[in-house]
Amino acid sequence: MTEEKWKTAITKIEPNKIAIRGYRVEELMGQVPFAHVVFLLLKGELPSREQGILMDAMLVSSIDHGATPPSALAARTVASGGAPLTAAVASGITAINRYHGGAIEGCMRVLLEAVERKRASGNDTTGAASEIVDEYRAAKRRIPGYGHRVHTEDPRSVRLFALADDLGMAGEYVEMAHAIRAAMTDKIGRDLPMNVDGAIATMLCEMDFPPEMSNGIFAIGRSGGLVAHVYEEQTRMRPMRRIDPVAHEYDGPPDRKLG
Amino acid sequence: MTEEKWKTAITKIEPNKIAIRGYRVEELMGQVPFAHVVFLLLKGELPSREQGILMDAMLVSSIDHGATPPSALAARTVASGGAPLTAAVASGITAINRYHGGAIEGCMRVLLEAVERKRASGNDTTGAASEIVDEYRAAKRRIPGYGHRVHTEDPRSVRLFALADDLGMAGEYVEMAHAIRAAMTDKIGRDLPMNVDGAIATMLCEMDFPPEMSNGIFAIGRSGGLVAHVYEEQTRMRPMRRIDPVAHEYDGPPDRKLG
Amino acid sequence: MTEEKWKTAITKIEPNKIAIRGYRVEELMGQVPFAHVVFLLLKGELPSREQGILMDAMLVSSIDHGATPPSALAARTVASGGAPLTAAVASGITAINRYHGGAIEGCMRVLLEAVERKRASGNDTTGAASEIVDEYRAAKRRIPGYGHRVHTEDPRSVRLFALADDLGMAGEYVEMAHAIRAAMTDKIGRDLPMNVDGAIATMLCEMDFPPEMSNGIFAIGRSGGLVAHVYEEQTRMRPMRRIDPVAHEYDGPPDRKLG
Amino acid sequence: MTEEKWKTAITKIEPNKIAIRGYRVEELMGQVPFAHVVFLLLKGELPSREQGILMDAMLVSSIDHGATPPSALAARTVASGGAPLTAAVASGITAINRYHGGAIEGCMRVLLEAVERKRASGNDTTGAASEIVDEYRAAKRRIPGYGHRVHTEDPRSVRLFALADDLGMAGEYVEMAHAIRAAMTDKIGRDLPMNVDGAIATMLCEMDFPPEMSNGIFAIGRSGGLVAHVYEEQTRMRPMRRIDPVAHEYDGPPDRKLG
């Protein structure tokens, strides 16, 4: 019954001392923003200034998408039965999987594969993109990360790509993401802009995150929205109501701009 | 079977437009840090600069506390059975409840009650604190938010109170928190410093959050650590191992300072 | 850091030996029905023949109530995001709480209190029932376990009470359940038959189960239906569809009778 | 936004009428045991007498395996944080996945493949078994369903196979299960008896269940044990204790026999 020793490289706890990946938590608090500490936790090192800004924007882009996604509906439905806030939020997070948020991981795998081929083939971005698009078409599969049911030009994607440009963070994955879009337009005759899953996938590739972590990062972001939805459900709606995924109406603050 | 209309004040979704509490998500991204957008989602308004810093520090203070809390152990145990990352994280979040994180809500209720009495009695902070301590002693109950199994002077609490001072955010709840500690030292003869739950409770009172939301805020913060733990479990440890809550060893980066 | 020893009275595991509350699992298998072993696990002793039949009927009464309850909707919604079967079922079970299934516990507490008062007052069932109904009316609260949105005479309740009569299991809790119904008819002028929650509550009282266990018993029964719903969702419906709590249609086997 | 109609073949709900796969629930209650109704729900038809007995024995075989499996540990850990009974049970059920219970599905796939090959090759059971064992050895993979850490001869497996024999239910999957064991003994030189996962897999194949459903069936059975563990945790142990997967002691009823 020998058991290999359990090792963990995340947080060291000693009396009156908490060190996250080596940094004292009290030194991080108030100096390093939450999104940067998430980066530290997941990657082992603090982000550069540019990576930190991108990471933060990515978490904000994931924070909420209204009441219709399965995560919000599941969380509200569970809350409606009387579960405590955290248990309801947990059900929402469980709904984030292969089909809800999962396109991030799927798109990362496409981009990683495409960039690998490009490197192997002497840096021909267009060729690698074209090859991938052909293969997906032949297999009658959609490339994850492109196109959206509601948003034809997703404002979150546009913003993430613009930020990457501004920050000098647009590398070969951004290039490849554009090349695949162009190849699809060319071969399918339809322009499918990247959705937010695809844009996040591209940024995660640029920052060298493993694809297996992507749903977790999305979940960290979305946890903010889920707490808001469950709290609203618990305080505004009556228990055991029929939660219709379409019949709701926004009655929050009107459109406004940052001051 | 008449059903009142479902209204939501959180996020408005229209084609190519996503507005969180009225603000375009793409305007928030890259300009407003994640912790501030969480504040916006939960409170309906963006924080002041000072509130934003405090909110951010609070989320960082909650982000991880090693492998021993029930949330990390539950998440790792569920991952060990083969569940996907998000489902394992969800079990960890479900573990956050009355006894794990719940002292935040408990302490908020004490502080709210104490400050209400203080106001009713002509602003006698010491008197209200003394009254509360007497009542808890008579009922043989512990006041939630004071004392800790491991940390005699929790660095997270010290930092949160220092930040509140520096930011000019230390109001009557901070005052009351100190007064209760002093009353306990006086009456019990033992100095029980505030733990991190108590410190977060105090800050949430200062920022006018409802106590019912506190576990959710803690869960948002802790989601960062849980994703790191589950990913580490999935990539470093073998499935179905015995997860012993004490027999683990830290092998991450050595102590280091912000650059 | 002394820790009191963890003791468990449920199952003893030794090499090649598994004993549930003292009974070898292989002796139970094929001889004692699942519902009776659940009774053994929860109560510590095997049920009498009559208790076993009632326990089995109770679990069957809870096994499914179509696609509209929050448990089924939450489970299907989570499955729709791509979660594995067990994680989706788990979200459904989390939805069973205070408002969904919780009336069992609420009704048990009413019946336990009422019977206690009856005993204290010299066995006046009618008086105790009348008192309870008056108190709930004064507090403008509904007595849990009576009335149903859909079923005016719930066939599951009718059957459970008939079974209890046939089996000679109808004791003072059944008597009290009837007395409370009569008192309500008398005082409110409306006949509210017991719903299935109330009927299960009555039977659990007759079999001396603690109220705190009731949601768990309901969950064991409902787990059967939830697995069926999630499997159907995963195999018949496309992912990420809008799961409307009302717009579904039954296309299963037509009405039929036991052979 | 056309949406195909949602159809469900599970349960029809009308006022005062609940029909499960066509049968009135009140007719099932008290006449058809819970395990048989689970079979009805999952397969669409009631089991034969023999199938019913086997299904019931299978659920009983899964009902509990003490405090050490991840499902029990996760459920108790979540309960320890203060979560309600159902939410804690749900975390336990989420722990049932690829590595915990998942060998049932894995073993079913092996048996289905092996029997298909046997049929294709003119009913040579020994040949098909030998082929499969060779392929797994070449790939250095273990065949799921054989061998156990604790039980060298699992009493649950022995009992399930004996029951299948007695009931005349031992068909070509039972034959293949034995043939694979023999081939392994022959080729590896070590006799690895089927564990309970393998035995359940064999019976599910004999009863024509889809492999994708197997974890769900295991979860229905285990829900009984999980409710018992969570209730014991909530009533016997103090919150937030260290839940050590090995340091527990059985203090329940001594060994006893059915009357």
A53 close contact with C: CB closer than 8 A = no
pLDDT tier at C246 (50, 70, 90 boundaries)? confident
pLDDT tier at C1 (50, 70, 90 boundaries)? very low
C167 close contact with B: CB closer than 8 A = no
The sign of the dihedral angle between the CA atoms of A232, A236, A239, A241 is: negative
CA neighbor of A110 nearest in space, from A188, A176, A58: A176
Say whether B52 sits in a helix, a strand or coil.
helix
Residues in chain B with CB shorter than 8 Å from the CB of A21 are: 252-253
pLDDT tens digits along A160-190? 999 999 999 999 999 999 999 999 999 988 8
- Given a contact cutoff of 8 angstroms between Cβ atoms, the answer to whether C235 and C74 are in contact is no
- Nearest Cα residue in chain C from B85: C83
Name residue, tokens 């079979």: D39
Are C9 and D84 in contact (CB < 8 Å)? no
Residue in B71, B94, B104, B149 to test binding to D, most D beta-carbons within 10 Å:
B94
pLDDT tier at C195 (50, 70, 90 boundaries)? very high
Are D216 and C89 in contact (CB < 8 Å)? yes
Alpha carbon of B87: minimum distance to chain C alpha carbons (Å): 7
- Given a contact cutoff of 8 angstroms between Cβ atoms, the answer to whether A184 and A144 are in contact is no
Q: Which are the contacts of D115, defined by CB distance < 8 A and separation ≥ 6?
A: D128, D172, D173, D176, D205
Alpha carbon of A91: minimum distance to chain D alpha carbons (Å): 10
On the CB side of C51, CA atoms within 13 Å amount to: 17
Mean pLDDT, chain C, as a whole number?
95
Who among D71, D239, D246 is closest to B99 (CB)? D239
Between the two ends of chain D, the Cα-to-Cα distance in Å is 63
C-alpha distances in Å from residue D71, one per residue of A149, B75, C247, D93, D117: 38, 11, 35, 6, 36
The residues that bridge with B58 in the sheet, in sequence order, are: none
Residue A259 has pLDDT above 90, yes or no: no
In eight-state DSSP terms, residue B46 is P
Question: What pLDDT is recorded for position C148?
Answer: 83
How far is A11 from A36, CA to CA, in rounded Å?
16
D155 close contact with A: CB closer than 8 A = no
Residue in A1, A13, A78, A86 to test binding to C, most C beta-carbons within 10 Å:
A78
Tokens of D3: 């949406």
Residues in chain D with CB shorter than 8 Å from the CB of B230 are: none
How far is A157 from A234, CA to CA, in rounded Å?
32
CA B227 from centroid of its chain's CA atoms: 17
How far is A71 from A91, CA to CA, in rounded Å?
7
Tokens of A128: 């690698």
Question: What pLDDT is recorded for position C109?
Answer: 98
Name residue, tokens 């604790």: D150
CA D255 from centroid of its chain's CA atoms: 25
Name residue, tokens 């290999």: A4
pLDDT tens digits along C99-146? 999 999 999 999 999 999 999 988 899 999 999 999 999 999 999 999
C172 close contact with D: CB closer than 8 A = no
- Given a contact cutoff of 8 angstroms between Cβ atoms, the answer to whether A233 and A76 are in contact is yes
A240 close contact with B: CB closer than 8 A = no
Element spanning D93, H or E: helix D85-94
Say whether D67 sits in a helix, a strand or coil.
coil
- Given a contact cutoff of 8 angstroms between Cβ atoms, the answer to whether A23 and B256 are in contact is yes
Comparing A204-213, C172-181, C185-194, C199-208, which segment has the lowest mean pLDDT? C185-194
Are A74 and C74 in contact (CB < 8 Å)? yes
Say whether A215 sits in a helix, a strand or coil.
helix
Alpha carbon of A87: minimum distance to chain D alpha carbons (Å): 7
Residues in chain B with CB shorter than 8 Å from the CB of A86 are: 93-94, 96-97, 101, 215-216, 219
Alpha carbon of A69: minimum distance to chain B alpha carbons (Å): 11
For residue C144, give the amino acid letter: P
CA neighbor of D230 nearest in space, from B239, A197, C8, C81: C8
How far is B70 from D77, CA to CA, in rounded Å?
6
Residues in chain A with CB shorter than 8 Å from the CB of B234 are: 212
- Given a contact cutoff of 8 angstroms between Cβ atoms, the answer to whether A18 and B61 are in contact is no
The stretch D176-197 carries a mean pLDDT of 95
Are C11 and D44 in contact (CB < 8 Å)? no
Residue in A63, A237, A257 to test binding to B, most B beta-carbons within 10 Å:
A63
Say whether A170 sits in a helix, a strand or coil.
coil
CA neighbor of D86 nearest in space, from B218, C230, A87: A87
How far is D137 from D143, CA to CA, in rounded Å?
9
* Touching partners of A (3+ C-beta pairs < 8 Å): B, C, D
Are C57 and D154 in contact (CB < 8 Å)? no
Alpha carbon of A179: minimum distance to chain C alpha carbons (Å): 28
Residues in chain A with CB shorter than 8 Å from the CB of C78 are: 70, 74, 91, 94-95
C153 close contact with D: CB closer than 8 A = yes
Tokens of D156: 């649950």
- Nearest Cα residue in chain B from C150: B1
Tokens of B40: 């916006």
How far is B88 from B91, CA to CA, in rounded Å?
5
Alpha carbon of A33: minimum distance to chain C alpha carbons (Å): 31
- Given a contact cutoff of 8 angstroms between Cβ atoms, the answer to whether C230 and C88 are in contact is yes
Mean pLDDT, chain A, as a whole number?
95
Task: State residue B150 phi and psi, 5-degree precision.
Answer: -110, -45
Comparing B90-99, C64-73, D242-251, which segment has the lowest mean pLDDT? D242-251
Are A244 and C246 in contact (CB < 8 Å)? yes
Alpha carbon of B100: minimum distance to chain C alpha carbons (Å): 18
Burial status of residue B98 (CB atoms within 10 A of its CB: 0-12, 13-18, 19 or more): middle
pLDDT tens digits along D87-121? 999 999 999 999 999 999 999 999 999 999 999 98
Maximal C-alpha separation, chain C? 63
* Touching partners of D (3+ C-beta pairs < 8 Å): A, B, C
- Nearest Cα residue in chain A from D89: A87
How far is C40 from C11, CA to CA, in rounded Å?
11
pLDDT tier at D1 (50, 70, 90 boundaries)? very low
Residue in C77, C214, C222 to test binding to A, most A beta-carbons within 10 Å:
C77
Contacts with C, D 106-145, CB within 8 Å: none
- Nearest Cα residue in chain C from D5: C248
Residue in A2, A6, A13, A86 to test binding to D, most D beta-carbons within 10 Å:
A86
- Given a contact cutoff of 8 angstroms between Cβ atoms, the answer to whether C10 and C21 are in contact is yes
pLDDT tens digits along C21-42? 999 999 999 999 999 999 999 9
Are B82 and D98 in contact (CB < 8 Å)? yes
- Cβ-based neighbour number of residue D189 at 10 Å: 7
Residue A193 has pLDDT above 80, yes or no: yes
Residue in B6, B86, B149 to test binding to C, most C beta-carbons within 10 Å:
B86
- Nearest Cα residue in chain C from B78: C87
Who among A4, A248, A256 is closest to B8 (CB)? A248
pLDDT tens digits along B126-142? 999 999 999 999 999 99
In eight-state DSSP terms, residue C202 is H
- Taking CA B118 as the corner, what is the angle to CA B115 and CA B119, rounded to the nearest 5 degrees? 90
Name residue, tokens 């029932």: C129
A203 close contact with B: CB closer than 8 A = no
pLDDT tier at A2 (50, 70, 90 boundaries)? very low
The sign of the dihedral angle between the CA atoms of A52, A53, A58, A61 is: positive
Residue D54 has pLDDT above 90, yes or no: yes
Are A68 and B159 in contact (CB < 8 Å)? no
* Touching partners of C (3+ C-beta pairs < 8 Å): A, B, D
Tokens of A103: 């396109």
Q: Which residue has the higher pLDDT, B151 or A129?
A: A129
Are C77 and A80 in contact (CB < 8 Å)? no
Say whether A208 sits in a helix, a strand or coil.
coil
Complete domains list, chain B, with CATH: 10-46 (no CATH), 48-243 (1.10.230.10)
Question: What pLDDT is recorded for position B1?
Answer: 36
Q: Where do runs of H (alpha helix) occur along chain A?
A: 25-28, 34-43, 49-62, 70-80, 85-94, 102-120, 125-138, 155-166, 172-188, 196-206, 214-236
Element spanning C112, H or E: helix C102-120
CA B61 from centroid of its chain's CA atoms: 8
Alpha carbon of B246: minimum distance to chain C alpha carbons (Å): 11
Q: Where do runs of H (alpha helix) occur along B81-152?
A: 85-94, 102-120, 125-138
- Given a contact cutoff of 8 angstroms between Cβ atoms, the answer to whether B105 and B202 are in contact is no
- Nearest Cα residue in chain B from C85: B83
How far is A112 from C194, CA to CA, in rounded Å?
61
Contacts with C, B 68-97, CB within 8 Å: 83-84, 86-87, 90, 94
Say whether A13 sits in a helix, a strand or coil.
strand
How far is B29 from B11, CA to CA, in rounded Å?
15
How far is D36 from C33, CA to CA, in rounded Å?
10
Tokens of D225: 């044990």
Block mean pLDDT (10 aa), chain B, length 259? 77 96 98 98 98 98 96 98 98 97 97 96 93 96 91 94 98 98 94 96 98 98 98 96 91 95
Name residue, tokens 């979860």: D219
